Amino acid sequence: MTLDSKIPPGPIDKKWEHAKAHYKLVNPANKRKYDVIVVGAGLAGAAAAASMAELGYNVQCFVYHDSPRRAHSIAAQGGINAAKNYQNDGDSIYRLFYDTVKGGDYRSREENVYRLAQLSVNIIDQAVAQGVPFAREYGGTLENRSFGGVQVSRTFYARGQTGQQLLLGAFQALERQIALGRVKMYPRHEMLDVVLVDGQAKGIVTRNLVTGTITSYAADAVVLATGGYANVFYLSTNAKASNATAIWRAYRRGAYFANPCYTQIHPTCIPQSGDFQSKLTLMSESLRNDGRIWVPKVAGDARRPDQIPEAERDYYLERKYPSFGNLAPRDIASRGAKEVCDEGRGVGPGGRGVYLDFADAIKRLGRSVIEERYGNLFDMYADITAENPYETPMRIYPAPHYTMGGLWVDYNLMSTIPGLYVGGEANFSDHGANRLGASALMQGLADGYFVLPVTVGDYLAGQLGKKVSADRAEFKQTQAEVEQRIGKLVGAKGKRSVDSFHKELGNIMWERCGMARTAEGLKSAIADIRTLREQYWRDVRVLGTDAEPNQALERAGRVADFFDLGELMCIDALAREESAGGHFRVEHQTGEGEAKRNDDDFLYVSAWQFKGDNAAPELHKEPLVYEEVKLATRSYK
């Protein structure tokens, strides 16, 4: 199968307009005859479900939480980008587009990114209309701040809780449609498979997390907005339940998985403090606006930070990247931290940390300004570490945070399974090999509010009279497979807990498929994952039954999928013989230790096709064509 990305014709700034003018429409009176399933209710899912319901479609929305408002979009702190140019600092749609392509290290699809930049301005309008309380200037206009990887101020924010406020906007729009009867909400339901009829996505199989009942639901189209897979590393900034099962099950049914090895390790997280650690906490990148990152110049310097004089500190990002300094993109800032820690200059327990110091900013702006900007982040840091960041520098270290890879989608966000759409972090489309800060919220909402409602409509227009019922054999077959798998997990009756396996897998992934990867390490990781997975299915211990709330069983299914996905990540990382963005192959670096791309051989999207449990996945390539942006070595110096 050749990958058709369905890029509309015309100049780049007219493509989306052209596409919208040519999509097929559904007669308003017919819209209520169509059922659309939306899985997930984060920014992309809630926005898509609400917007499609507003158009008149019957929407069924499934989440594993007790309420759609719990999705992990809620935890995004720093902000959302938009090319409003309210600051008159030279911003434009083109510049946001350019920054995003460059930030992604020239591994994203130009046309998608351009559309994202165009839609960014509509998102802010929509959010404000919904009552999102973005920060304001004294004159009442909207305020902006800067973020990593760019030199304009285009980030809109609501204290350190921008994701929360944007999600509440989408959630409230969704709740309104639930009240109107346009959306049927299924909380505490986990999607465990997608059902294909004649090659098209026609429904899903879910488990009710209270009763354990397995049920099939049919629809005319299915939208997955189920987030990313950074929890493959066990310790990440993702929520504990964040998982890849929905997209992984779709992959096994024929949706290609694109660029699985592109993972983002976020530079500013609170370092791990012990074996009991269950997750890592992000400190918003916005802190890098005013905080300065440093380590002692000499390895093994055990003095307290206030005892180390200025001349004996190495502000390594400012030194290496004078023009961007502490605002270098995430992949570069993370590798910088790893490098100095590997040299023995790390600080804090275990030497895995660097200082993020606000002393200069407090001196310059006063404590109250810093408090207003970052108060809740400082409080959170103090809660977790019992240290006061107003007085002593924060300690930070990189942690897995976001996954740029995801299911392959065309310009319309449809996967390689007709009728199966993928939005938000779950797809691969916009961030290339590295995502810039404040772009995830933008992408989730662009997909959900503005892209999916029209592109799904285009597909539905051709589905009139093709409704299927969940009584069909295809549903029964898929449901039987789901039940069998659950039976296997409950029936294993082994000796080791799910978490103990997950930690071991996470460790393999972090050490060998994390911030720096080598061919040798990846090969051994693949072998070790296979051995561990085999042991898992034999020796995992899931107590209780499948007919009750059973959190160990929920986790067991997700971890089983993480094993397979982790293996594919390593396979992809091994095949990509270059460094690009978050994918850093030690064999491919410049003399200065920067990522060295190979545009001659790797200017493509890797899209993997599932070929069976005991067969190697097949690689398909979508060539990346750059017409607007000239390929260049990314420089933030």
Partner 1 sequence: MDLTLQVWRQASRTADGKFVTYEAKGISPDASFLEMLDVVNEELTERNEQPIHFEHDCREGICGSCGMMINGVAHGPIGGTATCQLHMRHFKDGDNIRVEPWRARAFPIIKDLIVDRSPLDQIIQAGGYISVNTGSAIEANTLLIPKAIQERSMDAAECIQCGACVAQCPNGAAQLFTSAKVSHLGLLPQGQPERYDRVIRMVEVMEEHFGSCTMYGECEAVCPKEISIDFIARMNRDYLAAKFKNRKAEANG
User: Which positions from 28 through 57 interact with partner 1, judged by CB under 8 A?
Assistant: 47, 50-51, 54
Token pair listed for 337: 């931290």
- Say whether residue 277 binds partner 1 (CB under 8 A): yes
- Residue 28 to residue 34: CA distance in whole angstroms: 11
Q: Of the two residues 174 and 574, which places its CB atom closer to partner 1 in the complex?
A: 174
Applying the rule CB under 8 A, the residues between 560 and 589 that interact with partner 1 are none
- Say whether residue 548 binds partner 1 (CB under 8 A): yes
Size of the site for partner 1 (CB under 8 A): 77
Query: Which of residues 81, 165, 259, 439 is near partner 1 by CB under 8 A?
Result: 165
C-alpha dist (Å) from residue 410 to 3, 350, 467, 505, 607: 8, 45, 24, 32, 12
Q: From the CB of 379, what's the least distance to partner 1, in Å?
A: 8
User: What 3-state class would DSSP assign to 253?
Assistant: coil
Q: Of the two residues 173 and 426, which places its CB atom closer to partner 1 in the complex?
A: 173
Pairing outcome for strands 420-422 and 221-224: parallel
Are the C-beta atoms of 110 and 290 separated by less than 8 Å?
Answer: no
Q: E strands within 209-302?
A: 214-218, 221-224, 257-258, 263-269, 292-296
User: What 3-state class would DSSP assign to 261?
Assistant: coil
Applying the rule CB under 8 A, the residues between 104 and 163 that interact with partner 1 are 122, 124-131, 133-142, 158-159, 161
Q: From the CB of 449, what's the least distance to partner 1, in Å?
A: 5
Token pair listed for 612: 């069976």
DSSP state of 66: S
- Say whether residue 300 binds partner 1 (CB under 8 A): no
- Say whether residue 24 binds partner 1 (CB under 8 A): no
C-alpha dist (Å) from residue 349 to 54, 98, 302, 358: 53, 40, 11, 21
Q: From the CB of 238, what's the least distance to partner 1, in Å?
A: 9
- Residue 117 to residue 27: CA distance in whole angstroms: 30
Q: Of the two residues 178 and 359, which places its CB atom closer to partner 1 in the complex?
A: 178
- Say whether residue 449 binds partner 1 (CB under 8 A): yes
Q: From the CB of 561, what's the least distance to partner 1, in Å?
A: 18
Query: Which of residues 274, 591, 612, 623 is near partner 1 by CB under 8 A?
Result: 274
Q: From the CB of 74, what's the least distance to partner 1, in Å?
A: 5
Query: Which of residues 497, 524, 535, 609 is near partner 1 by CB under 8 A?
Result: 497
Query: Which of residues 1, 464, 527, 543 is near partner 1 by CB under 8 A?
Result: 543
Q: Look-up: residue for tokens 């499948």?
A: 546
Stretch that binds partner 1, among 64-72, 94-102, 475-483, 599-607 (CB under 8 A): 64-72
- Residue 340 to residue 335: CA distance in whole angstroms: 9
Query: Which of residues 487, 549, 575, 611 is near partner 1 by CB under 8 A?
Result: 549
Following CA atoms 218, 221, 226, 232 in sequence, which dihedral angle do they give, to the nearest 10 degrees?
Answer: 80
- Residue 338 to residue 148: CA distance in whole angstroms: 18
Query: How many residues belong to the chain?
Result: 637
Applying the rule CB under 8 A, the residues between 223 and 242 that interact with partner 1 are 239-241
- Say whether residue 484 binds partner 1 (CB under 8 A): no
Q: Of the two residues 237 and 415, which places its CB atom closer to partner 1 in the complex?
A: 237
Q: From the CB of 210, what's the least distance to partner 1, in Å?
A: 6
Query: Which of residues 541, 546, 589, 628 is near partner 1 by CB under 8 A?
Result: 541
Q: Look-up: residue for tokens 């290290």?
A: 105
Token pair listed for 136: 């304001």
How far from each other are the two terminal CA atoms of the chain, in whole angstroms?
A: 42
Query: Which of residues 119, 333, 361, 380 is near partner 1 by CB under 8 A?
Result: 380
Q: Of the two residues 546 and 628, which places its CB atom closer to partner 1 in the complex?
A: 546
Number of H helices, E strands in the chain: 18, 19
Stretch that binds partner 1, among 173-181, 200-208, 218-226, 621-629 (CB under 8 A): 173-181
- Residue 610 to residue 119: CA distance in whole angstroms: 33
- Say whether residue 453 binds partner 1 (CB under 8 A): yes
Token pair listed for 133: 């309380």
- Neighbouring-strand partners of residue 481: none
Q: Of the two residues 316 and 449, which places its CB atom closer to partner 1 in the complex?
A: 449
Q: Of the two residues 39 and 194, which places its CB atom closer to partner 1 in the complex?
A: 39
Q: Of the two residues 257 and 378, which places its CB atom closer to partner 1 in the complex?
A: 378
Q: Of the two residues 468 and 552, which places its CB atom closer to partner 1 in the complex?
A: 552
Are the C-beta atoms of 104 and 259 separated by less than 8 Å?
Answer: no
